[in-house]
Every structure is written in structure tokens, then in C-alpha cells.
Amino acid sequence: MSEENNPLSLRQVYLAFPVLRKLSSQELPARSAFRLTKLVRKANAEYKAVEEQRTILVKKYSTEDEDGAEKLNVAEENLDDFYKELNELLDEDSEVKVGNKFGIEDFGDAMLSVEECAAIEWLYDEGLED
């Protein structure tokens, strides 16, 4: 099986989704915009599912304050367990697969930071060279 046929991990989708949304809001060549739209639709469902599960984990590992109200931040003593479960989730395969990768020129004049490029490195042909 070629790399392009392998599904992305949920971690790859989760980290890339904000960048994909940013790209989708910029003017791109029509063909690129169409391909990106299809990818964003698939990634959106996975991103939402991960975010829902992350919220459940936050609630699971949060503590109550003195009034009995739930705090929505993970208690320090639960951080290891929280991150263990979250990382197990993020290591799972997603339903998102990338067939034909994009070339850098497919992104037109889109402006991305180095961090954003790294988050979508799997999406384009030209890897980050040393």
C-alpha cells in the first residue's frame, strides 16, 4: 500500500484542521480550492469527534470546587491519565485519506507560518528539507 492510501492519524487531522480552515478561507486556484473543500469536509467530521471526546476527557479528569461546581480544567493530579487517554485517541487512524498530494504552487499566494506548514506537511509533495 502506498503512503497516499494510508489513513491519517487523528492527531494529524486534529493538528492540521485549523490550517486547513485558514487555507480554505483564502483565494486559491479553482482546482486546489475544490480539492481542499473535499478534504476539509472529511477532516471537519473527525475534528469535531476528537473535540467532543477531548471535552469528555476534560470533564472526566476535572475536579469540583468547594461549592460543588465542576471546573473545566484538568486537575494536576490527573494530567498523566488525561494525556495518556488523549494520546491513545489521537494515535488512532482517521477516515481521512489523501490521494494526490498538493504541490506548493497549488496554494497560490497563501501565507502560512513554519508551524502551519509543518502541521500539513503530509498534504504536499515537497517535504520540509534540511
pLDDT at 128 over 50: no
pLDDT tens digits, residue range 36-49?
A: 999 999 999 999 99
When pLDDT is cut at 50, 70 and 90, the band that residue 52 belongs to is very high
- Quote the pLDDT of residue 71: 66
Q: What is the DSSP string of 14-25?
A: HHHHHHHHHHHT
pLDDT tens digits, residue range 90-99?
A: 999 999 988 8
Q: Which grid cell is 36?
A: 481542499
Closest Cα partner for 36 from 118, 87, 102?
Answer: 102
